[in-house]
């Protein structure tokens, strides 16, 4: 991971408590790192303690106030316990980032019900369970910020990704609906749609079994040719947008979906 985001004031989110699902790896860790750099206390949550432990050590090494919670966002009871624990441990919950997700290429004709369920339940149901669990805490404290991590692939047809594109289209719809429903509770609900970011999770999910991982020069060459801004995204590119939405600059922004992708989805080949 590159150096934590320091482009915002270091006390921008002082006193705020954030919960980032999937915060132990990839984009989620980049988001957690940016929120910590802006002064927030951050809880990172996911299934695997080994992910959380390494990430928390990295975030704390930079001086961050960080806690960890093991959870599975597919299970509503586990999600409720996660939110309860964060609110108890830190006294409040101001910012929820729904980042946990699963994905892999699979032909729709042979996609098994289990594989379909695994992705839709993690990406869409998990996002809803987290929003629903956070709502009463945020409402009781007079407001909050919810940011869900979506994608851009469902803006067009994207073969082999029926499960993930359907789930993220649902996340976008949920974002707009909850934004309207929860505006009276002073809770803003937005989404960020990242372009291609070569996280370890993505590389693993999209490398066919037995194939060698793509070399970095070959990948950089591809990015230079096919992404208008000429480079892959970094987790912090997404973290900066989440920080902006969580800050006072986001006070009047709700129901919006921000594409952060270096212009990728507008081109025919990326
Ligand atoms: P990643 O590193 O694989 O991140 C997924 C995270 O979700 C992991 O930390 C994983 O941790 C957690 N997770 C998975 N299933 C979970 C579950 N059932 N309960 C709780 N946590 C769970 O992948 P990434 O590339 O950073 O992706 C992060 C987000 O960005 C996702 O929403 C993805 O759809 C979105 N996105 C990524 C890209 C890209 O190019 N990278 C592009 C567009 C959108 P555990 O294994 O410990 O549970």
Fold of 17-263: Rossmann fold (3.40.50)
Q: pLDDT tens across 227-240, in order?
A: 999 999 999 999 99
Query: Is a pLDDT exceeding 80 seen at residue 94?
Result: yes
Q: Is the CB of 67 under 6 A from ligand 1?
A: no
In whole numbers, what is the pLDDT of the chain averaged over residues? 94
Residue whose Cα lies nearest atom 27 of ligand 1: it is 27
Q: Which atom of ligand 1 is nearest to the CA of 100?
A: 7
Higher pLDDT, 135 or 3: 135
Q: Supply the pLDDT for residue 71.
A: 98
CB-CB contact of 243 with 12 (8 Å): yes
Phi/psi at 267 (5° precision): -95, 155
- Is residue 73 in contact with ligand 1, taking CB distance under 6 Å? yes
Band (268; pLDDT cuts 50, 70, 90): confident
Give residue-wise pLDDT tens across range 157-192: 999 999 999 999 999 999 999 999 999 999 999 999
CA distances from 96 to 108, 113, 162 (A): 32, 30, 26
Ligand 1 center from residue 263 Cα (angstroms): 22
- pLDDT band with cut points at 50, 70 and 90 for residue 74: very high
Query: For residue 15, is pLDDT > 80?
Result: yes
DSSP characters over 62-128: TT--EEEEE--TT-HHHHHHHHHHHHHHHS---EEEE---------GGG--HHHHHHHHIIIIIHHH
Atom of ligand 1 nearest to the CA of 98: 32
For the CA of 150, the nearest atom of ligand 1: 44
Q: Please choose, from the candidates 235, 236, 244, the residue with its C-alpha nearest in 3D space to the C-alpha of residue 13.
A: 244
Residue 1 has pLDDT above 50, yes or no: no
Residue 3 has pLDDT above 50, yes or no: no
What is the distance in A from the centroid of ligand 1 to the CA of 242?
A: 16
Domain map (residue ranges) of the chain: 17-263
Give the tens place of pLDDT for each residue, 211-229: 777 677 778 888 888 999 9
* Residue 22 Cβ contacting ligand 1 at under 6 Å: yes
Phi, psi of 215 (to 5 degrees): -75, 155
Residues with Cβ within 8 Å of residue 151, at least 6 apart in sequence: 164, 165, 168, 193, 194
Q: What percent of the chain has pLDDT over 70?
A: 95
> What pLDDT score was predicted for residue 215?
72
């Amino acid at each position: 991971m590159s150096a934590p985001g320091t482009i915002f004031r270091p006390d921008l989110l002082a006193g705020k408590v954030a919960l980032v699902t999937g915060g132990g790896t990839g984009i989620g860790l980049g988001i957690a790192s940016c929120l910590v750099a802006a002064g927030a206390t951050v809880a990172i949550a996911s299934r695997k303690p080994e992910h959380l432990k390494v990430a928390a050590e990295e975030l704390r090494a930079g001086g961050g106030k960080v806690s960890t919670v093991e959870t599975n966002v597919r299970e509503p009871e586990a999600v409720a316990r996660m939110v309860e624990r964060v609110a108890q441990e830190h006294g409040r919950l101001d910012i929820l980032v729904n980042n946990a997700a699963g994905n892999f290429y699979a032909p729709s004709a042979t996609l098994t019900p289990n594989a379909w369920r695994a992705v839709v339940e993690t990406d869409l149901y998990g996002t809803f369970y987290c929003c629903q669990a956070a709502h009463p805490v945020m409402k009781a404290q007079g407001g909050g910020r919810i940011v869900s991590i979506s994608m851009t692939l469902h803006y067009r047809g994207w073969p082999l990704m029926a499960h993930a594109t359907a789930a993220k289209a649902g996340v976008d719809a949920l974002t707009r609906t909850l934004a309207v429903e929860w505006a009276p509770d002073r809770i803003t609900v937005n989404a960020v749609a990242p372009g291609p970011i070569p996280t370890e999770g993505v590389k693993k999910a999209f490398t066919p079994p037995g194939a060698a991982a793509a070399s970095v020069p070959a990948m950089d060459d591809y990015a230079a040719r096919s992404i208008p801004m000429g480079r892959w995204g970094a987790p912090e590119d997404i973290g900066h947008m989440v920080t902006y939405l969580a800050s006072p600059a986001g006070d009047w922004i709700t129901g919006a979906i921000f594409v952060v992708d270096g212009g990728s989805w507008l081109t025919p080949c990326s």
